[in-house]
Amino acid sequence: MELFVFVVAGAMVLGGALGVVLRSHPVHAALSLVLTLFGIAVLFVAQEAHFLAAVQVIVYAGAIVVLFLFVIMLLGVDNAEDLRVEPFKIQRPVAAVVGAGVLALVGLAILASRDATVPTVVQSEAVQEAALSPHDSNIKALARDVFSDHVLAFELTSVLLVIAVVATVMLARKPRKGEHVIEIVEGAGK
Amino acid sequence: MIAYEIPVPTTTWYLLLSAALFAIGTVGVMVRRNPLILFMCIELMLNAVNLSFVAFARQMGDIGGQSTVFFVMVVAAAEVVVGLGIVVAILRRKPNATTDDMAELKG
């Protein structure tokens, strides 16, 4: 059963990823990305990361992909890119070689360290206690970890999100009439 | 009749899947020229790393890997928001711009 889940979700992940890279139409690529993200969420559930699976579906497949689709729709850039155009002659062979090299190196490292001994991790008492909870142990243990050991990082992420939102609003809004804005001048600096 | 044991996916399987996903994302970043698709390929690479974090978290019995994934997701969301803001600002001035046209920040 676990093998079946892994094979199906793995096929979803890899098929969606290939779709993102190979589909010429941006909307099709975004929908392939949804397939990949759902496959990852299934694999999270298979590895007992229930909370992260829910967040994956809500944040990634829900918010981020919708953001992509909104940008495609608002700008009307949904025309297909001609994939036969190759701006640099050796770009694709080099990219294929580098990709295969990354896969071979990381794969060999994984296979070489397959039988490595796993160091024992000492978790804080609160996390250990939460992990004993019968039905919602994952979310409780995660909450104890985030809100006790990593509470400063958690607060900093909220600051980061506020900064990102303010920056994006400033970047994307249209300037009012008569307002001084910094224009990007065509051919400036040439 | 030979008794055939159905293999159970181990951490190694998950790590190999994540390596394949990361390699596909790398090739996508190097090959594609549409800035939106570049962002999607970066998301693929981030998800590959998230998958390996969760696999290690289960193998080591440590919830810390999962909280790291949580933070990676927050940072990825912020990165996409700012990145798409920049893409909107550029594409509004130059429709159908590709990454080759984005040398405007160069002095």
Q: What is the pLDDT of residues A84-142, one digit of tens each?
A: 666 677 888 888 899 999 999 999 988 888 877 777 777 777 777 766 767 778 888 88
Distance between A135 CA and the closest CA of chain B, angstroms: 16
What secondary structure letter does DSSP report for A110?
H
Q: A128 CB contacts (<8 Å, ≥6 apart)?
A: none
Res. A9 pLDDT band, cuts 50 70 90: very high
CATH number assigned to the domain comprising residue A64: 1.20.120.1200
Token pair belonging to A171 = 């970047």
Position with higher pLDDT, A118 vs A165: A165
Distance between B2 CA and the closest CA of chain A, angstroms: 20
Which uninterrupted H or E stretch holds A1?
Answer: none
- From A42, A47, A107, select the one nearest B19 (Cα to Cα): A107
Whole-angstrom distance, CA of residue A133 vs CA of residue A50: 14
Q: Is residue B53 in some structural domain?
A: yes
**Count of domains forming chain A:** 2
pLDDT confidence of residue A190: 42
Interface test with B, best of A127, A129, A171, A173 (most B CBs within 10 A): A171
Tell me the longest C-alpha to C-alpha distance in chain B: 74
Q: Is residue A33 in some structural domain?
A: yes
Q: Is residue A113 in some structural domain?
A: no
Please state the rounded mean pLDDT for residues A137-151.
87
0.95 surpassed by complex ipTM: no
Place of tokens 């040439």: A190
**Count of domains forming chain B:** 1
| Inter-chain CB proximity B85 and A51 less than 8 Å | no
Q: Is residue A189 in some structural domain?
A: no
pTM score, two decimals? Answer: 0.85
* pLDDT for residue B82 is more than 50: yes
| Inter-chain CB proximity B33 and A99 less than 8 Å | no
**A5 and A75: one domain?**
yes
CATH number assigned to the domain comprising residue B34: 1.10.287.3510
- B84 closest CB neighbour out of A13, A55, A71: A71
A8: region left, alpha or beta (phi > 0 left; psi from -120 to 50 alpha):
alpha
| Inter-chain CB proximity A119 and B60 less than 8 Å | yes
**Mean pLDDT score of chain B, rounded to an integer?**
85
Pick the residue from chain B with its C-alpha nearest to A137: B63
Q: Is residue B6 in some structural domain?
A: no
Whole-angstrom distance, CA of residue A41 vs CA of residue A49: 9
**A77 and A130: one domain?**
no
Whole-angstrom distance, CA of residue B37 vs CA of residue B80: 12
Q: Is residue B65 in some structural domain?
A: yes
Q: Is residue A168 in some structural domain?
A: yes
Q: Is residue B57 in some structural domain?
A: yes
Q: Is residue B74 in some structural domain?
A: yes
Domain of A128 in residue numbering reads as: 124-177
pLDDT confidence of residue B18: 94
**A7 and A59: one domain?**
yes
* pLDDT for residue B3 is more than 80: no
Token pair belonging to A28 = 């099709």
Q: Which chain A residues are closer than 8 Å to B86 by Cβ?
A: 171
Size of interface A-B (CB pairs under 8 A): 227
Q: Is residue B107 in some structural domain?
A: no
Position with higher pLDDT, B90 vs A77: B90
Query: A82, A108, A136: which is the final residue of a domain?
Result: A82
pLDDT confidence of residue B90: 80
What single letter denotes the amino acid at residue A98? V
pLDDT confidence of residue B105: 62
Query: A24, A55, A82: which is the final residue of a domain?
Result: A82
Distance between A50 CA and the closest CA of chain B, angstroms: 10
Name the 3-class secondary structure at A85. Answer: coil
Q: Is residue B1 in some structural domain?
A: no
Helix, strand, coil share (%) of chain A residues, nearest 5? 70, 0, 30
Q: Are A95 and B24 in contact (CB under 8 A)?
A: no
Res. A189 pLDDT band, cuts 50 70 90: very low
- For CA atoms B16, B22, B23, B25, the dihedral sign is positive
Q: Is residue B103 in some structural domain?
A: no
Domain of B27 in residue numbering reads as: 11-97
Inter-axis angle of helices A65-75 and B35-60, nearest 10:
180
